[in-house]
Structure 1
Amino acid sequence: MRTPLLALALAVTAASASPLSKRNLSLQPAGTTTPPSQDPFYQAPNGFQRADNGQVFKARPVWTPFDSEASAAYQVLYKTTLATGEDAVTAATLYAPLKPASPPRIMVLAAPIDSACRDCEVTYALQNGGGSNATDFILSAVAIDIFAGLYKGWYVAVPDHEGPKAAYIAGVQEAFGVIDGLRAMLNFPNILPKTDGYKAVLHGYSGGAHASAWANQFLSTYGKGLNVVAAAYGGTPVDSFSTLDLLNGSPGAYLAWGALTGLANAYPELDDFFKRELFPNGTAALKAARSLCNTQLAPVLYNQSFYSFFRYGRQTLNMSTAAKYTNLGLLGNPVKQDISPAATTDGVVHIPTFMYHSITDNIVSYKPVPAYVKSQCDRGAKILFESAPGFNHTVAAVVWTADTYNYLESAFNGTLKLDQCNQTLGVSTQPGTPEYIAAIGPSAWNLIKGAM
């Protein structure tokens, strides 16, 4: 039996075999690209520390499975910042639509990379075009959104927001990678010739929602001066412990263990702490998470209790060093200078935001989300929050797709009216209806149909 994500991966891979592009570029064929850890393109140039965040150092045109809706696609290497404040570089894939809206409309799409391994980045997955079983998951997870955004005439930036250390679920790192990914788009005229009057939005689902939500709350500080007019994300991990507890001992245990490994990648102090507290099987699991993409890690950790990897079990995460970083992982909490030297945040989103989440989500806990939304609204945020029961985590991503694009379109058009928080039960635009198809375009809809 095919899962929806597997079916989408197969559909995208099949599409990638078609001669979609008319561009005369010297490109690597699918399946022969070099992993980021071995590719010189991903290495920082000498003196990069002197550059502004978002400056593009390297660029190369790439072939991806979305050429039917794109006039050009490039990989770029750009300046960003690590969660611990040091200068760094990371990459993004930038797309230009066939018929760009004017003034420019930009969607920064955060993918659910969900891996603590350097060779599982979304740029590699997109360039591979379905050529690697390890990264097909990521390709399928962004396919609908790339097609939909390009169809609507939007420029699309898909950053490697985890940064060079593969800091999966490290919110500060993800925020910086997303925000500087937008700056890279604005600094790269090969894709975006003119930036006058541009508007931008943030979007992501699941692990991508985590990155988008963290970027959203850093916009007023680290992202100051950028014209981001709205954000939309769903299946958002807002509380580390709730999702860790949900996944522990389940088929999705690999996702949570990857997240703990990603945090250790971001913060050397936490990495040293974990190494002291792990049993040998935990040390082996940490090594595996750093060398395998999430779909490869899944059979290794299937149904395992990762708390049992630690000498003191779950209590380990309440110990002072671990608690410092698990508390940092609570979305909406203020982040101060001692934790984030590059920028601070009050933890509040200051732009209109659409959130959605299935009440019966089996991967990312729904339980803490309403309290997070209420806290945001009490502090002045403007959030439209939609929820409904009956959908698993993967299906919910597809169910709310049209509502997401209608919301973002209204923000671009200047017709979005969200003067205060609003919560609704249900989905406004039902999948398969003419309104749903019109919101995302035929290419995205054909992918969804192919996965049914």
Structure 2
Amino acid sequence: MDFRALQRTAFTQILICACVLSTAVLSACGEESSEVTATNAVPFAPKPDADEFYAQPNPMPKLALGTILKSRAVTFAPVGSVPMSNAAWQLQFISRDVNGKSIAAIATVVKPTVAGTGPSPLLAFQYAEDSLGSHCAPSHTLTGSTANSVSQLESTQPLLGLAAGWTVVYPDHEGPYSAYGAGRLAGQITLDSIRAALSFQPLGLSSNTQVGMWGYSGGAIATAWAASLQKAYAPEINIVAVASGGTPADVLGIAKNLDESPATNALFFPLILSAIEGINRSYPNLVTPILNDKGRAAFESLKDGCVGDTSDGSSAPSGHLADYTTTPDPLNAPNVLATSPLITLPLAGNSPIADTFVYHSTIDELIPVAGAVALVKAWCAAGSHVAYYQGVTGEHLLFEVTTAPLAIAYLTSRFTGTPTVTPPTTTTCN
């Protein structure tokens, strides 16, 4: 069975489980930039979104981070293109890229299904977009697109928050060039999407609104980086809870596991190669200098695909990373090692200031648990308040489904100020 078939089989099984479970301010100023970065400066850039709402302003306005540039009402249809009654809007707002240059990012904001008894908290839900094509972004999934299979799987989870009276903001955290895996970019866009949501008058929020962040796997890239960057980047946001599951903290460790584990390689090679390509869009020195002809061809075939699929009809890439580079040991290439500290957590001098719940499967075959353990240890040493749960209720994909209620319970306890709800085997620090 090929990668796509295996992937779809796994996603179908998990989606069934998900359906069962789902039923049971002050703003920092942005870096000034008078011109938009040219698309052709981004290696293997995706096709621009055909919808002009997504276009980068040129020249870029010199405005504070999180400032809304434009908005529009949309129909909220996150699962199977079925419309829901929640009022929803798309926002374009100011954020910045990994080099500090201003960009225009997109987020979708959704009002609660029913009004709560008190002020509505705000949940920032970061999808595991895991894709290189612009049409795979959350803003498309939330308005009826079914192109992103992972997003379809995850869409039931934040509905529980909406039903509880929470407002939700869903950032397109990969940015305008779908830089899948670029953590700093994703974290900054996530924080700026929260700023934008808090200031968007139709939502009725304020600078004092309680905020929670939640993401798993690719969504945890954005969530964990946002939590790490908050103190320096957006300290004014009242983030009271973070839930980060299956967190891809150690990027090189994940890539090494891909090369060394036959089962992981067979299932996930196109997905991880897509992540390398996505990170390379923000950090072109990561692998651009060492790609061989096969590597360049693979990047071209993946550049507009969703979740590791090719977009040109070619077969999904397979094999080992060295097959696609000019060096036999790409993970130890000087340019890769030099870039590694920029794309890996923990980030020196940065750790969460909000209460944080980290959860990870002991038997995660895609993202080795050692990376999460090391991340939690570093965050605890830095003084962060972290609750860590390590369980065996599924491998990487199934664990997301079985632990979603734990994340909801944790966020709820922080929003309500009640005792923290975590599994009995959870360890805590500080």
TM-score range, shorter chain: 0.7 to 0.9
How far is 1:240 from its partner? Answer: 0.9
Give the alignment partner of residue 108 of structure 1, picking from 102, 121, 124: 124
- CA deviation string 1:109-134 (max 9, x = no partner): 0110111333321111222343xxx3
In the alignment, which residue of structure 2 is the partner of 1:380? 383
In the alignment, which residue of structure 2 is the partner of 1:445? none
In the alignment, which residue of structure 2 is the partner of 1:360? 363
CA contact (8 A) 2:179 2:282 kept: yes
| Counterpart mapping for 1:403-422 below 5 A | 403-416=406-419
Match status 1:236 vs 2:251: no
In the alignment, which residue of structure 2 is the partner of 1:42? 54
In the alignment, which residue of structure 2 is the partner of 1:6? 12
Residues 69 and 8 of structure 1, relative CA distance in 2, 3 Å threshold: farther
How far is 1:309 from its partner? Answer: 0.7
CA contact (8 A) 1:217 1:347 kept: yes
Residues 81 and 5 of structure 1, relative CA distance in 2, 3 Å threshold: same
Moved more, 4-13 or 212-221: 4-13
Residues 402 and 417 of structure 1, relative CA distance in 2, 3 Å threshold: closer
Distance 2:17 2:73 in 1: 24
How far is 1:195 from its partner? Answer: 1.7
- CA deviation string 1:134-183 (max 9, x = no partner): 32332222x12221110110000010011112111111101111001101
CA contact (8 A) 1:252 1:303 kept: no
Match status 1:178 vs 2:190: yes
In the alignment, which residue of structure 1 is the partner of 2:99? 84
Match status 1:327 vs 2:338: no
Distance 1:301 1:252 in 2: 10
Counterpart secondary structure, 2:90: strand
Residues 71 and 417 of structure 1, relative CA distance in 2, 3 Å threshold: closer
CA contact (8 A) 1:357 1:366 kept: yes
CA contact (8 A) 1:103 1:197 kept: no
CA contact (8 A) 1:98 1:153 kept: yes
Distance 1:306 1:158 in 2: 33
Amino acid at match of 1:349: P
How far is 1:12 from its partner? Answer: 10
Give the alignment partner of residue 254 of structure 1, picking from 261, 270, 276: 270
Residues 302 and 396 of structure 1, relative CA distance in 2, 3 Å threshold: farther
CA contact (8 A) 1:36 1:119 kept: no
Residues 415 and 10 of structure 1, relative CA distance in 2, 3 Å threshold: closer
| Counterpart mapping for 1:201-212 below 5 A | 201-212=212-223
In the alignment, which residue of structure 1 is the partner of 2:86? 71
Structure 1: unaligned runs, 5 residues or longer: 14-34, 335-345, 428-452
| Counterpart mapping for 1:213-228 below 5 A | 213-228=224-239
Match status 1:276 vs 2:289: yes
How far is 1:289 from its partner? Answer: 2.4
Structure 2: unaligned runs, 5 residues or longer: 1-5, 20-46, 260-264
Distance 1:119 1:305 in 2: 28
In the alignment, which residue of structure 2 is the partner of 1:97? 112
Residues 363 and 92 of structure 1, relative CA distance in 2, 3 Å threshold: same
Distance 1:362 1:194 in 2: 40
How far is 1:207 from its partner? Answer: 0.5
Distance 2:135 2:128 in 1: 14
Query: When the two structures are superposed, what TM-score results if normalisation uses the length of structure 2?
Result: 0.82
Q: How many percent of aligned residue pairs carry the same amino acid?
A: 26
Distance 1:10 1:403 in 2: 19
Distance 1:201 1:234 in 2: 14
In the alignment, which residue of structure 2 is the partner of 1:371? 374
Amino acid at match of 1:333: L
Residues 210 and 196 of structure 1, relative CA distance in 2, 3 Å threshold: closer
- CA deviation string 1:14-57 (max 9, x = no partner): xxxxxxxxxxxxxxxxxxxxx96211100133454312111112
How many residues of Structure 1 are paired with residues of Structure 2 in the alignment?
Answer: 383
- CA deviation string 1:196-217 (max 9, x = no partner): 6410001000000111000001
Distance 2:18 2:408 in 1: 21
Query: When the two structures are superposed, what TM-score results if normalisation uses the length of structure 1?
Result: 0.78
CA contact (8 A) 2:77 2:141 kept: no
Distance 2:335 2:205 in 1: 47
In the alignment, which residue of structure 2 is the partner of 1:198? 209
Amino acid at match of 1:317: L
Distance 2:301 2:111 in 1: 37
How far is 1:291 from its partner? Answer: 2.0
Moved more, 36-45 or 215-224: 36-45
- CA deviation string 1:80-133 (max 9, x = no partner): 100111100111111001323332200000110111333321111222343xxx
Distance 1:64 1:308 in 2: 43
Residues 225 and 388 of structure 1, relative CA distance in 2, 3 Å threshold: same
Amino acid at match of 2:237: L
How far is 1:318 from its partner? Answer: 2.3
How far is 1:424 from its partner? Answer: 5.7
